[in-house]
Amino acid sequence: MSPEPPPRTVRGRGGRQWASLPGHGVRRRLGGGGTRVPPGTTGPARRTHDRESPVSETSACRVAIIGFGPRGFGCLERLAVEVSRRGSGRPPLFVTAHDPRSHPGAGPPYDPDQPDGMLLNFSARHVNIWSDDNTLVPPGERLDFVGWLGRYHPGWAAGDAFVPRRLLGSYLEEAFESLRAALPPGLEFRHVRGVVRDLEPAGAGWSIRHDDPSLDLAGVHQVMVATGHGTWSANRGFDAWNRELPDAPGTRRIAAVYPVVDRLSRDAVPDGAVVGMRGFALTAIDAALALTEGRGGTFEDQGDGIPRYRGPGGREVTVVPFSRSGLPLLAKPGAALVKRSSELTDVWEPLRRGILEADGLTPGALLQRLHRAGLRAVAALGGGVSRPAPRMGGVGSSPSSGPLRVMERSVLVASGLLPPDEGWARGEAWRQAYPAVVSRAGEGGMAAAFPAAFARLACAMERYAFGPPASNLARMVALASAGRVDLGAVRAPRIRAREDRLVLVGATSSYVLDVLVNAVIPPPGVHEATPVLLKLVRRGQASRAAGWEGVMVSPSAESIGRDGAPTPGLSIVGRATEGWVLGNDTLNRNLHDHTRRWAQRIVGESAVAVPESSRMTAGAPNG
Ligand SMILES: Cc1cc2nc3c(=O)[nH]c(=O)nc-3n(C[C@H](O)[C@H](O)[C@H](O)COP(=O)(O)OP(=O)(O)OC[C@H]3O[C@@H](n4cnc5c(N)ncnc54)[C@H](O)[C@@H]3O)c2cc1C
């Protein structure tokens, strides 16, 4: 293992400094003062067009939330809570949320219009979009997801169910309406339905440029970028890969899977087509189900954990997935196994404590801790493991049997039909340790000290820990048994052209493709697929964490610029910060505190009187 690098110092304006102490995951605040935006940093007002504004001319502090999925919603909710607490007589906050989608709060993964087969990959009882201290929204409207399901979809209300993502989208949409109705005096809100193209510093504030310039806003004091997975309008990661493929116009290429109703329609993927599927993870499972169950196929329970697939009759699609490793995801354990494992406090508590307290923890040492705890858990639950302790280089390498057997076994273990095994142990140890790992590795900790080794470990563990629900993996096994999913080229096939078609050349078989579907979503962080953020990085207003694509932020989500100081008025939250903040592309609001601290900071700063001359008029939000 390489020696630990010296502490990295991140400078704050106003004398604040944090020292990132690699190996300890602790960032100490060294200096005093905050990054409060002084009154002078507010830019002059500017009307960007002539439409009549429905917004008060006296709004003192203008906040723009770019992207209004679950995280954007969380930002608005926290602002509302903080504003309601600060008492009367303070300058109001004018908040705009910029997002083209017609389902505010839901975000594309939870599109309420998608088919039922697209399931959440964690159980409903983990989802609650509301903060505990929100007293603005009446309790009867501030339901957690299970409570909401009980009211509107009781068939799904068992807390351990993995429910269709579209239901979560409806829950989020309704939550947004409840929040909007309950916003406190002193917070004005508008939804601007447009795609943001760029964020430009203008004077001491920010201008927000949209694809539709008539929506542009100027003189914004605080911008929060919460663009998550982007707009899904294009997939530039695929474009680069695709350019390397041979010319073969007889094979249709589909750059992205979502929304499946449009991208995988019968027009796009005709019945009977042989479909090469780039990717073998959650998106590929969604795509395979959309092309089979979504076209009238059914799954019949056989009582042995793996259902039988019955096609709708007629010509059906054959899906040929492939990935670099060819390794399948493992199933999330069912409720009974989750409960049995949660009772092993003598295994998991010491694991978490050890991770938080160990001196100079390295990824290799972390792996050994996880392994030992996993073995103890398996033994306690009556399972068995025969393989030796993994080495860093070996974790995530080929399993001893083929992918179909691995998937099948994983389903049976997750359903309690086979005793826990090594795969379960790895996944469960990672899940149980995750909050401790996040705290220890993020924000200048182990992930900064050992970026390559930590990324390798995290990537390998995700396959074990954060796979699909057992029911969906079981469906993949059923589809493979029925020949609708063909694993004959699953590991790193070559791709050639024959006549005008692409051909997948696998270890045992070749497939002439009618369609090639990209089922790999762009990675987290900042890159070509996140153009707004990429411009901020190129201009030095945001900067990537060393060894990662994700950008650095302060504990209250301020973007750390190239100069190591927070960029005034710019904050970033969510997937774009992955690598600096770990595991934040999730609905779980308890793992990180950036949004709450951001809202406290913004509301605190907004108490500073804004000179009359810098008060703004609004654009023309539509919402
Ligand atoms: C298919 C899929 C399934 C998932 N399943 C789960 C799950 O089961 N459980 C879980 O915890 N997590 C899941 N996730 C992770 C998921 O991303 C997070 O749970 C959550 O959606 C993150 O919220 P977000 O608001 O940060 O990002 P998003 O949900 O991606 O929302 C970002 C919003 O920003 C908008 N936007 C983007 N760019 C712009 C722009 N330039 N201008 C204006 N608006 C813009 C988008 O329209 C979107 O509404 C899943 C992700 C995917 C892709």
For range 28-45, the mean pLDDT: 27
Note whether residue 198 is domain-resident. yes
Provide the pLDDT for residue 390: 53
- Judge whether residue 14 has pLDDT over 80: no
Residue to probe by mutation, ligand 1, list 225, 587, 591, 592, most atoms within 8 Å of CB: 587
Q: Which of 480, 496, 518 is the last residue of a domain?
A: 518
Provide the pLDDT for residue 236: 65
Asked if 443 and 553 sit in the same domain, the reply is no
Provide the pLDDT for residue 88: 76
Query: Over the stretch 335-353, which tens digit does the pLDDT of each residue have?
Result: 999 999 999 999 999 999 9
Residue to probe by mutation, ligand 1, list 76, 227, 520, 533, most atoms within 8 Å of CB: 227
Note whether residue 574 is domain-resident. yes
For range 225-230, the mean pLDDT: 94
Query: Which of the four pLDDT bands, split at 50, 70 and 90, describes residue 122?
Result: confident
Residue nearest to ligand 1 atom 18, measured at CA: 586
Atom of ligand 1 nearest to the CA of 194: 43
Give yes or no for a cis peptide into 112 (omega within 30° of 0).
no
Atom of ligand 1 nearest to the CA of 126: 11
Asked if 456 and 551 sit in the same domain, the reply is no
Asked if 223 and 276 sit in the same domain, the reply is no
For range 98-120, the mean pLDDT: 90
Query: Which of the four pLDDT bands, split at 50, 70 and 90, describes residue 234?
Result: low
Asked if 454 and 401 sit in the same domain, the reply is yes
Asked if 74 and 215 sit in the same domain, the reply is yes
From residue 617, alpha-carbon distances to 50, 55, 62, 265 in Å are 11, 7, 10, 45
Provide the pLDDT for residue 162: 86
Asked if 194 and 320 sit in the same domain, the reply is no
CA distance linking residue 472 with residue 331, whole number of Å = 8
Provide the pLDDT for residue 401: 60
Residue to probe by mutation, ligand 1, list 101, 229, 594, most atoms within 8 Å of CB: 229
Provide the pLDDT for residue 450: 96
- Range of 68's domain? 62-112+185-232+524-614
Note whether residue 36 is domain-resident. no
Provide the pLDDT for residue 160: 81
Provide the pLDDT for residue 217: 96
Provide the pLDDT for residue 456: 95
Task: Give the CATH number of the domain where residue 539 resides.
Answer: 3.50.50.60
- Judge whether residue 13 has pLDDT over 90: no
Note whether residue 99 is domain-resident. yes
Provide the pLDDT for residue 605: 86
Asked if 422 and 306 sit in the same domain, the reply is no
- Judge whether residue 15 has pLDDT over 70: no
DSSP state at residue 140: G
Asked if 97 and 190 sit in the same domain, the reply is yes
CA distance linking residue 225 with residue 101, whole number of Å = 16
Provide the pLDDT for residue 43: 28
CA distance linking residue 430 with residue 464, whole number of Å = 8
Handedness of CA 393, 398, 400, 405 (dihedral sign): positive
Note whether residue 175 is domain-resident. no
The per-residue pLDDT of the chain, averaged, comes to: 86
Asked if 357 and 310 sit in the same domain, the reply is no
Report the pocket of ligand 1 as residue ranges, CB < 6 Å.
66-72, 98-101, 107-109, 120-122, 195-196, 226-231, 521, 532, 574-575, 585-587
Element (H, E) at 62: strand 61-66
- Judge whether residue 380 has pLDDT over 70: yes
Nearest in space to 36 (alpha carbons), one of 566, 594, 601: 601
Asked if 357 and 440 sit in the same domain, the reply is yes
Query: Which of the four pLDDT bands, split at 50, 70 and 90, describes residue 4?
Result: very low
Q: Which of 483, 501, 518 is the last residue of a domain?
A: 518
Nearby residues of 337 by Cβ (< 8 Å), 6 or more positions away: 381, 413, 414, 416, 420, 424
Which amino acid, 452? A
Bridge partner list, 200:
207
Asked if 70 and 198 sit in the same domain, the reply is yes
Query: Over the stretch 402-427, which tens digit does the pLDDT of each residue have?
Result: 899 999 999 999 999 999 999 999 99
- Total domains present in the chain: 3
Provide the pLDDT for residue 391: 52
CA distance linking residue 232 with residue 522, whole number of Å = 10
Query: Which of the four pLDDT bands, split at 50, 70 and 90, describes residue 389?
Result: low
- Judge whether residue 565 has pLDDT over 90: yes
Provide the pLDDT for residue 354: 97
More confident position, 583 or 11: 583
- Which of the residue ranges 32-46, 431-445, 552-566, 582-596 would you say has the lowest mean pLDDT? 32-46
Distance 316 CA to ligand 1 centre (A): 31
CA distance linking residue 376 with residue 389, whole number of Å = 13
Asked if 240 and 345 sit in the same domain, the reply is no
HEC string of 73-116 equals HHHHHHHHHHHHHCCCCCCCEEEEEECCCCCCCCCHHHCCCCCC
Distance 105 CA to ligand 1 centre (A): 10
CA distance linking residue 477 with residue 304, whole number of Å = 13
Note whether residue 157 is domain-resident. no
For range 131-160, the mean pLDDT: 94
The bridge status of strand 217-220 relative to strand 308-310 is unpaired
Note whether residue 129 is domain-resident. no
CA distance linking residue 569 with residue 37, whole number of Å = 7
CA distance linking residue 605 with residue 599, whole number of Å = 10
Provide the pLDDT for residue 386: 61
Query: Which of the four pLDDT bands, split at 50, 70 and 90, describes residue 238?
Result: confident
Provide the pLDDT for residue 601: 96
Distance 254 CA to ligand 1 centre (A): 21
Note whether residue 131 is domain-resident. no
For range 566-583, the mean pLDDT: 96
- 255: Cα separation from own chain's centroid: 20
CA distance linking residue 325 with residue 399, whole number of Å = 10
Q: Which of 427, 445, 465 is the last residue of a domain?
A: 465
- Which of the residue ranges 25-29, 119-123, 445-449 would you say has the lowest mean pLDDT? 25-29
- 55: Cα separation from own chain's centroid: 33
